[in-house]
Structures are given as C-alpha cells and as structure tokens.
C-alpha cells in the first residue's frame, strides 16, 4: 500500500474519532456563552458558583487525563473511551435535572471525569501509519476548533428554545451519538502504536514539567484557557447590557469567530514563510493581553465589544492552533505522549482556575476587574514567551525495529544522529521501537528504515 495518502481505515478513523472528539467538546463548550445569564435562575446563585459551574469540568479533567490514558493502554482504548463517555453522559443528566447551582457544579465535575482525550488520541495513533499520523491528528484538531465555534453559535439558540435544562439534555443526546460512533463506526485497533509517543508515562513527567521551553508552553495554555473561561463569567452579561438579547448572541459570535479565522491565517503563513514564528507567537500573546485590557478600560458599547471579541479570538485561535505544533517539535523523541499529558492537564487546570478566579474576582471587586486581572496574567505570559528559543523545523516519527540488544541499539543511534536531517533519535530495544525527530526535507526515511532493520547474520 502506498504512503502518499490516507488509506480507507485511516480515513474512517480520522473522521469518526474527530467527530467523537468534536461532539464531546461541543458539549463542554456550549454552556460558556449562556451560563452567566441562565445560571442566575438557579437556587444558590452567586458569581463564584457561576464560575465554578463553568470551570468545574477542568479540575476533574486535568486530574484524570493522564490516568485515563494509562488505563486505555492496559485495558484497551474503546472500553475506556466508552466508559468515559458514560460518565460524561451521567454528568450531563445530573446537570439537566438540577434546580440548584450546586447540582450543576456536580454535573459539570462529572462531565470532566469522562477524560477521554488521551485515549482517543492514542486510538487514532494505533489506527494509523507513522507517515500519516500528523494528518489524522490535524483533522482531530480542526474538529476541536470547529466545535468551539459551533458551541458559541448553537449554545444560545438551544438555551433560548429549551432553557438551561434543555441545553444539558441536548448535550446528553450528543454524548449518546458519540458512543454509537465509537461502538459501530470507529475501527477496532489490532496493533498498538508505540506507547511513548501517545500515552503519558509517569516516570517522565517530573523532568518534563521542569524543562524551561516546555514549561513556557504549559504556562501559556494554562493562562490562555484561564482567560477564556474567566471572560465568560461576565461577557454574555456585557452583550445583554449593550442591547443584544441572548437569543441574538450567535449573530455576534458567528461573524466575530469567522473574522478571527480570516485574520489569523495570513499571520500564520507569514510566520512560517519568513521564519518569524517566535516573534508572531509573542505578538499574539500581546494582542490577547491588549484586548483584555481594552475590555476593562473602554466603554462597553456593542461596537467596542464586537471589535474586541474579534481581536481576542484572533489571538486565541492563533495561539490555540500553533501551540500543539510547537509542542510536538519541542517534545523529546519518544516522549510526546508525556509532553501532551502535561500540556493537556495544564489546559484543563487553566479552565478550572479561570472559572474559580472569575467568580471570586466578580464577587469581591466587580465583574469588570476580571478583564484587568486576566490582562496582567497575559503580560506575564508575554514576558515568558519572549524567552523562547528559535525552533528547528521537524517532524516526529516512530519506527518498528528488529534491534533487540543494547550494544547494537547504541551503535545504530550513533549512526542515526549523524545522518542528514536527523535532529534527535531514541531507540527502545526492549519495545522494538525507535523514535526520531527529523527534518523530513533533508532526511532519507528509506535509509533510516534500513538502519533500523539490519540484515540478520547467518
């Protein structure tokens, strides 16, 4: 079979798993644009409980992300994914049936306990060849981005028609659809992809958390999602006060998000072509901080809010799209799964911190102060981002190898690291796998495979 494109199994895996991931993220995001308003109708309402309800899923998601990936390695991908979706479904039902803010917080925490992201990504890796894996992961990433956009538009429409309870029942329906796809459409995996590239390994985590370049990205994604969640503790109310009824909020989100995508793409192309990735990344962080500062400083007219939402999401989407790529290039060979585990946990901890801090700030200092505090965090991130080192262009690959002893493994690695285009090489002879970071425009993949499968001496 040729290596030029996805085969039928890879296409089926890419789109079905992307749809499952997208449906679940849609369910998590849909309350963002509406809960600040509808949550006021619940018994026990207060700004801090509103923030906790918005961000509660982040805490449980962060705590269970890595353990769920490890469980999928031991007991199989599909059983763990279906179990996670079942817990997510239970959380959605608890939230739908709750008349108190406390019940909704419990439901959202249960939703987060269905932490299937690492298991889904590992299954995607199991079902794809190493040459095609980046395309499949990119497809899943695209669907996550689309799910956020869809949630901003669909959430207000569903909530207006069926109320907050109806919104959670709709999320429960989406979860059942995702379970059906996992059971009946997603292919069953036979061969597992190498563990180090796809599942977090506990022994590696401490060292990776302390690595300065990776720490900057983990700090960044924490602040990015903290700012997003905190803003939605108050932003929907700002729109209503500016004269835009909740059922019409999609009319603002749709053009604003589409506009932000169109603005983002030229900057991404410029950064890659001119090799200005570090500078553009830092500029996007500065734009995010500036938009938050202006949310606090400028009068909240509809025109001002619309312009600032476009600027905020231009920066947000640029950073959200580029950070996983930067992460994969920074990740040591064979440790991508662990690096992604730390990164994902930081992202979800950020979502929880944003909800909690947003509610606490609103209760103590007023809702406008949320933007100023988040802008200060953004400036802290900007300072950290300016210290990033320039990155080499690279792709990560994992290859099967017939080498099964340490001496031979050391000899082959010594040859690999001096081969043209090879940036880093790790060979785990006990698992018969080699991890490489290469510049694939220079590296000779065919020659690398020959080195990894030497002829057996008679």
- Find out whether 167 and 6 touch, Cβ atoms under 8 Å: no
- Indicate whether 361 and 295 sit together in one domain: yes
Q: Evaluate if residue 2 carries a pLDDT over 50.
A: no
288-312: b (≥16 Cβ within 10 Å) or e: bbbbbbbbeeeebeeeebbbbbbbb
* Boundary of a domain, candidates 390, 419, 439: 390
- Find out whether 354 and 230 touch, Cβ atoms under 8 Å: yes
Q: How far apart are CA 177 and CA 188, in angstroms?
A: 18
State how far Cα 209 lies from the chain centre.
17
Percent share of the chain, pLDDT over 90: 46
Tell me the pLDDT band of 143, cut-offs 50, 70 and 90: confident
- Indicate whether 84 and 228 sit together in one domain: no
Tell me the pLDDT band of 172, cut-offs 50, 70 and 90: very high
- Indicate whether 69 and 18 sit together in one domain: yes
- Residue 435 DSSP symbol: E
Lowest mean pLDDT among 189-203, 245-259, 324-338, 432-446: 189-203
Helix, strand or coil, per DSSP, at residue 426: strand
Strands 422-428 and 395-400: unpaired
Mean pLDDT estimate for the chain: 87
- Indicate whether 265 and 367 sit together in one domain: yes
192 part of a folded domain: no
195 part of a folded domain: no
322-359: b (≥16 Cβ within 10 Å) or e: bbbbbbbbbbbbbbbbbbbbbbbbbbbbbbbbbbbbbb
- Tokens 């700004």 correspond to 47
The pLDDT tens digits for 388-422 are: 887 667 777 778 888 878 888 888 888 887 888 88
User: Helices 212-231 & 277-297, crossing angle to 10 degrees?
Assistant: 30
The tokens describing 352, both together, are 């929880």
Q: How far apart are CA 72 and CA 77, in angstroms?
A: 5
- Indicate whether 164 and 286 sit together in one domain: no
Sheet with 433-438, strands from edge to edge, namely 395-400, 433-438, 422-428
Q: How many CB atoms lie within 10 A of CB 235?
A: 24
User: Helices 212-231 & 202-210, crossing angle to 10 degrees?
Assistant: 90
- Indicate whether 88 and 159 sit together in one domain: yes
The reported pLDDT for the residue numbered 127 is 83
The pLDDT tens digits for 176-186 are: 999 999 999 98
The pLDDT tens digits for 205-238 are: 788 888 888 899 999 999 999 999 999 999 999 9
204 part of a folded domain: no
- Indicate whether 122 and 264 sit together in one domain: no
- Indicate whether 435 and 353 sit together in one domain: no
415-450: b (≥16 Cβ within 10 Å) or e: ebeebebbbbbbbbbeeebbbbbbeeeebebeebee
The reported pLDDT for the residue numbered 458 is 42
Q: What are phi and psi of 128, to 5 degrees?
A: -130, 150
Task: Determine whether 320 is exposed, middle or buried from the number of CB atoms within 10 Å of its CB (0-12, 13-18, 19+).
Answer: buried
194 part of a folded domain: no
Q: Evaluate if residue 198 carries a pLDDT over 50.
A: yes
Tell me the pLDDT band of 98, cut-offs 50, 70 and 90: very high
- Indicate whether 382 and 404 sit together in one domain: no
Range of the domain at 135: 1-187
């Amino acid at each position: 079979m040729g290596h030029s494109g996805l085969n039928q199994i890879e296409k089926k895996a890419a789109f079905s798993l992307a749809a499952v991931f997208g449906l679940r993220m849609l369910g998590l995001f849909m309350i963002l644009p509406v809960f600040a308003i509808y949550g006021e109708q619940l018994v026990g309402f207060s700004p801090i409980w509103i923030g906790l309800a918005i961000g509660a899923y982040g805490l449980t998601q962060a705590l269970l992300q890595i353990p769920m990936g490890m469980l999928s390695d031991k007991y199989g991908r599909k059983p763990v994914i279906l179990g996670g979706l079942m817990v997510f479904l239970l959380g959605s039902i608890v939230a739908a049936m709750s008349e108190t803010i406390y019940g909704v917080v419990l439901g959202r925490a249960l939703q987060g306990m269905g932490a299937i992201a690492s298991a889904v990504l590992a299954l995607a890796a199991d079902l794809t060849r190493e040459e095609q894996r980046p395309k499949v992961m990119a497809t899943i990433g695209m669907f996550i981005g689309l799910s956020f956009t869809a949630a901003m538009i669909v959430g207000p429409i569903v909530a207006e028609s069926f109320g907050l309870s109806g919104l959670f029942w709709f999320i429960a329906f989406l979860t059942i659809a995702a379970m059906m796809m996992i059971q009946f459409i997603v292919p069953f995996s036979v061969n597992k992809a190498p563990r180090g590239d796809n599942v977090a390994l506990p022994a590696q985590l401490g060292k990776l958390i302390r690595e300065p370049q990776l720490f900057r990205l983990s700090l960044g994604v924490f602040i990015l999602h903290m700012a997003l969640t905190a803003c939605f503790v108050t932003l929907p109310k700002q729109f209503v006060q500016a004269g835009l009824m909740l059922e019409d909020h999609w009319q603002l989100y749709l053009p604003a998000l589409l506009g932000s995508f169109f603005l983002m793409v030229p900057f991404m192309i410029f950064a890659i072509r001119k090799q200005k990735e570090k500078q553009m990344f830092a500029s996007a962080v500065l734009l995010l901080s500036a938009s938050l500062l202006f949310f606090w400083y400028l009068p909240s007219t509809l025109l001002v809010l619309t312009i600032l939402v476009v600027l905020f999401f231009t920066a947000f989407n640029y950073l959200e799209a580029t950070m996983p790529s930067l992460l994969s290039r920074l990740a040591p060979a064979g440790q991508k799964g662990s690096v992604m585990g730390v990164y994902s946990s930081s992202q979800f901890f950020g979502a929880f911190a944003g909800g909690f801090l947003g509610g606490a700030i609103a209760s103590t200092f007023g809702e406008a102060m949320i933007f100023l505090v988040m802008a200060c965090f953004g400036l802290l991130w900007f300072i950290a981002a300016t210290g990033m080192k320039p990155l080499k262009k690279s792709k990560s690959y994992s290859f099967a190898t017939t080498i099964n002893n340490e001496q031979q493994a050391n000899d082959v690695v010594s040859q690999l690291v001096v081969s043209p285009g090879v940036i880093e090489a790790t060979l785990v002879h006990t698992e018969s796998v080699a991890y490489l970071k290469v510049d694939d425009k220079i590296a000779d993949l065919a020659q690398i495979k020959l080195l990894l499968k030497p002829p057996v001496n008679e």
